Structure 1
Amino acid sequence: MPELAAYLNFDGNCAEAMNFYAKVLGGKPAIMTVGQSPMRDQLPPEAAGKVMHSCVTFDGGKLMAADAMPGCPSSAGRGASLALTYPTPQQARPVFDALAEGGKVTMPMQKTFFSEAFGSVVDRFGVTWLVNGGLIPG
C-alpha cells in the first residue's frame, strides 16, 4: 500500500519552517541544502544555501519540503491544506495554538458536528492547517 505525504515548497525559508514544524509536531527534521547535495555543481551558485530536500517524521505522519530553485516560484500554501487529527481536543489545542503564533486564525478552535474541537489557521509561512481533536463518529 502506498504512503501519502505532503510536500511543500518555500521561497528560501524552508529550513526555518521545517524546524518550526518539527518543534510543533514533535519530530526531528532532516535537511539537505543544494550545497550539500550531489547536484551542487549543476545549479547556480546562489542556490547553494537553499534546501533541496527536507523531511520531518513525527508520530502519525511525514512532512517533506524544499525551497523553490532560482527562476521557479514557490507554491507554499496555495490551493491545499494540511489536516491534523488528534484523539482528543486537549492534544489538538496546543498544536493549533503553536501554528497560530505569527499566523492568522481563519476559524477559531470550536466544537463542530464532526469534531469535538476543530480550527483552521494559516501559519506564518502561509500554509493552511486544519486541526481536529476528537472526531465525532457518524
Structure 2
Amino acid sequence: MAHIYSYLTFNGNCRKAMTFYQHCLGGELKFQTIGETPLTDKMTDKMKSYIVQATLTKGDLILIATDLVTDEGLTKGNAVSLLLNCSSEEELNAYYNKLSVGAKATQAAEVNFWDTLFASITDEFGNNWLLNYNRN
C-alpha cells in the first residue's frame, strides 16, 4: 500500500527547521547536503551546505524536507497543513507548547462540538500545523 509523507521545502534554513521539529517531536534526524552528492563540483561553497534531503523519523511519523527550490522560487501558502493526530491530551499539549515557540497560534487547544481536542499553529517557518486528539 502506498503512503503519503509530508515533504517540506525551505530556502536555506532546512537544517534549522528540521532540528526544531526534532526538538518538538523527537525522533531520529538525518541530513544529506549537496556537498555530499555528485553535484558538489558544480556548486558554490554556500550551496554545498544546503540540504538535499532531511528525514525525521519517529515510528510512523516521517517528515521529509529540502532546501532545493524550483526556478519559480519558494511560495508559502495555506494550501497544505501538517496534521499531528495525537494519542493523548498531554501529548497534544506538549507538541503545541513546543511548536508554538516563535509561532502564530491560530487556534488554542479546545474541545470542539464533536468532542475532539483541536489546535492549530503557523510556525516560525510558515508551516501550518493541526493538532488533533480524538477523546472517544
Fold-level similarity (TM above 0.5): yes
After TM superposition, give the deviation of residue 39 of structure 1 in Å. 2.2
Aligned CA distance change for structure 1 residues 115 and 131 (closer, same or farther; 3 Å)? farther
Q: Which residue of 1 aligns with 2:113?
A: 113
Contiguous gaps of at least 5 residues in structure 2: none
Query: Which is worse superposed, 77-86 or 16-25?
Result: 77-86
Residues 1:84 and 2:79 aligned together: no
Pairs within 5 Å for 1:52-63 = 52-63=52-63
Q: Secondary structure at the match of 1:82?
A: strand
Q: Which residue of 2 aligns with 1:28?
A: 28
Contiguous gaps of at least 5 residues in structure 1: none
After TM superposition, give the deviation of residue 13 of structure 1 in Å. 0.4
Q: Secondary structure at the match of 1:64?
A: strand
Number of residues of Structure 1 aligned to a counterpart in Structure 2 = 136
Percentage of pairs with the same residue: 29
After TM superposition, give the deviation of residue 79 of structure 1 in Å. 1.8
- Which segments of structure 1 move beyond 2 Å, counting only runs of 4 or more? 41-46, 68-72, 74-78, 113-116
Aligned CA distance change for structure 1 residues 7 and 80 (closer, same or farther; 3 Å)? same
After TM superposition, give the deviation of residue 71 of structure 1 in Å. 4.5
Aligned CA distance change for structure 1 residues 70 and 113 (closer, same or farther; 3 Å)? closer
Q: Give CA-to-partner distance per residue, 1:20-73, whole Å, 9 cap, x none.
A: 111211111100111111222344554211111110001331000000348552
After TM superposition, give the deviation of residue 84 of structure 1 in Å. 0.3
Q: Which residue of 2 aligns with 1:38?
A: 38
The answer to whether the Cα contact below 8 Å between 1:55 and 1:64 also exists between their aligned partners in 2 is yes
Q: Secondary structure at the match of 1:39?
A: helix
Tell me how far apart the structure 2 counterparts of residues 131 and 105 of structure 1 sit (CA, whole Å): 11
After superposition, the CA RMSD in angstroms is 1.9
TM-score (structure 2 length as normaliser): 0.89
Aligned CA distance change for structure 1 residues 16 and 115 (closer, same or farther; 3 Å)? farther
Aligned CA distance change for structure 1 residues 22 and 98 (closer, same or farther; 3 Å)? same
Tell me how far apart the structure 1 counterparts of residues 77 and 92 of structure 2 sit (CA, whole Å): 21
